C-alpha cells in the first residue's frame, strides 16, 4: 500500500495501549512485523521518554492519534502537540461523538481534517462506513480512510460487512484501513479478503492471553486474506455444482 507517498509493506497496524508490560508490547510489534504503530499523546505523556525509547527500539513508524478528543479544537491542539513530540506529520484523527459507543463525530472529524490537512498534516481519519462522509474527508485533503468495523474495544468483528464492501467498491483507488472492532484473526482475514489495504487493531492483541502469539496469528491471517483476495476468491453459488466431471463415468447396463 502507498500512503502519502510512503510504501507500507505490512498491512497490519498495531495500537500500543493496555499491554501487560512494555517488554510484551515490544515483542508483539516485532512478532507482527508491524511497520506502523499508533500512539496517543496521553499514552506518551504517561510513559515519558522511556516509552518513546521503547517505541524507537521497535523500528516501527509512529502514527500519533488524537484518542479521547471530543471537539475540533481539542483534536487540533492535540495534533499540533503530537507533531512536536513525535516529530512526524502523520496523524490518526479521532473526534469521538459518543462516550458509550465511541462512534466518531463525523461532522467534527471533517472540520478538523480540513484544518489539519491545510497545516500539512497527513491525516488518517477514523470514520464510519458512510460513503458521503468518506467523500467529504477526501475533499478535505485526506488520502486514506479508516472506517470502523465495530465500536472500539468491542472485538465484535465486522458489524456491517455489506457497507464495507460498498465502501471498497466506491473508493477503488483510495487506501482503506479497517480500524476498530477486530477481535480475532478470522476478522482480520475477512477484511483483507474484501480487498482492503490494511487492518488496525489494539485490544485483540493487548488483552489476549498471550499477546505475542496473538500478534503472530493476526499477522498470518492478514497475509492469508490478502493473498486470497489477489488469488481471486470464487463467488458463492446458489446451486450445487459437481467438482468431478461426468465424462468418463461407468455406464451400467
Please give the grid coordinates belonging to residue 249: 463415468
Those residues whose C-beta lies under 8 Å from the C-beta of residue 82, and which sit 6 or more positions away, are 41, 64, 65, 66, 91
CB-neighbour burial class of residue 46 (10 A; exposed 0-12, middle 13-18, buried 19+): exposed
Q: Which residues, other chains included, contact 244 with Cβ-Cβ below 8 Å and sequence gap of 6+?
A: none
Alpha-carbon distance of 24 to 32, in angstroms, equals 12
Distance CA 97, CA 70 (A): 6
Can you tell me which residue has the cell 515490544?
26
Annotated catalytic residue, options 9, 92, 114, 122: 92
- According to DSSP, residue 249 is labeled P
User: Is residue 114 annotated as part of the catalytic site, yes or no?
Assistant: no
Query: CA 135, CA 137: separation in Å to the nearest integer?
Result: 5
Give the C-alpha separation, 228 to 198, whole Å.
14
H-helix or E-strand spanning residue 118: helix 106-118
Q: List phi, psi (to 5°) of 212.
A: -65, -45
Whole-angstrom Cα distance, residue 65 to residue 105?
15
Question: What is the rounded CA–CA span in Å between residue 241 and residue 116?
Answer: 54
Q: Which residues are catalytic?
A: 92
Amino acid at each position: 500500500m502507498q500512503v502519502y507517498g510512503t510504501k507500507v509493506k505490512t498491512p497490519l497496524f498495531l495500537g500500543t495501549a493496555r499491554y501487560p508490560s512494555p517488554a510484551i508490547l515490544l515483542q508483539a510489534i516485532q512478532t507482527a512485523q508491524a511497520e506502523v504503530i499508533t500512539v496517543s499523546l496521553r499514552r506518551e505523556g504517561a510513559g515519558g521518554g522511556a516509552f518513546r525509547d521503547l517505541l524507537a527500539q521497535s523500528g516501527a513508524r509512529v502514527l500519533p492519534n488524537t484518542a479521547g478528543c471530543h471537539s475540533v479544537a481539542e483534536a487540533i491542539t492535540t495534533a499540533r502537540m503530537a507533531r512536536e513530540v513525535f516529530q512526524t506529520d502523520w496523524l490518526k484523527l479521532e473526534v469521538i461523538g459518543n462516550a458509550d459507543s465511541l462512534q466518531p463525530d463525523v461532522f467534527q472529524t471533517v472540520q478538523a481534517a480540513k484544518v489539519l490537512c491545510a497545516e500539512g498534516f497527513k491525516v488518517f481519519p477514523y470514520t464510519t462506513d458512510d460513503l458521503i462522509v468518506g467523500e467529504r474527508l477526501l475533499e478535505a485533503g485526506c488520502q486514506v480512510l479508516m472506517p470502523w468495523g465495530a465500536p472500539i474495544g468491542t472485538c465484535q468483528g465486522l458489524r456491517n460487512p455489506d457497507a464495507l464492501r460498498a465502501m471498497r467498491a466506491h473508493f477503488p483507488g483510495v487506501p482503506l484501513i479497517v480500524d476498530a472492532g477486530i477481535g480475532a484473526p478470522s476478522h482480520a482475514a475477512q477484511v483483507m479478503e474484501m480487498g482492503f489495504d490494511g487492518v488496525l487493531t489494539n485490544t485483540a492483541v493487548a488483552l489476549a492471553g498471550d499477546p505475542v502469539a496473538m500478534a503472530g496469528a493476526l499477522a498470518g491471517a492478514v497475509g492469508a486474506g490478502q493473498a486470497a483476495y489477489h488469488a481471486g476468491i470464487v463467488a458463492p453459488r446458489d446451486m450445487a455444482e459437481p467438482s468431478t466431471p461426468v465424462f468418463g463415468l461407468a455406464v451400467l447396463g
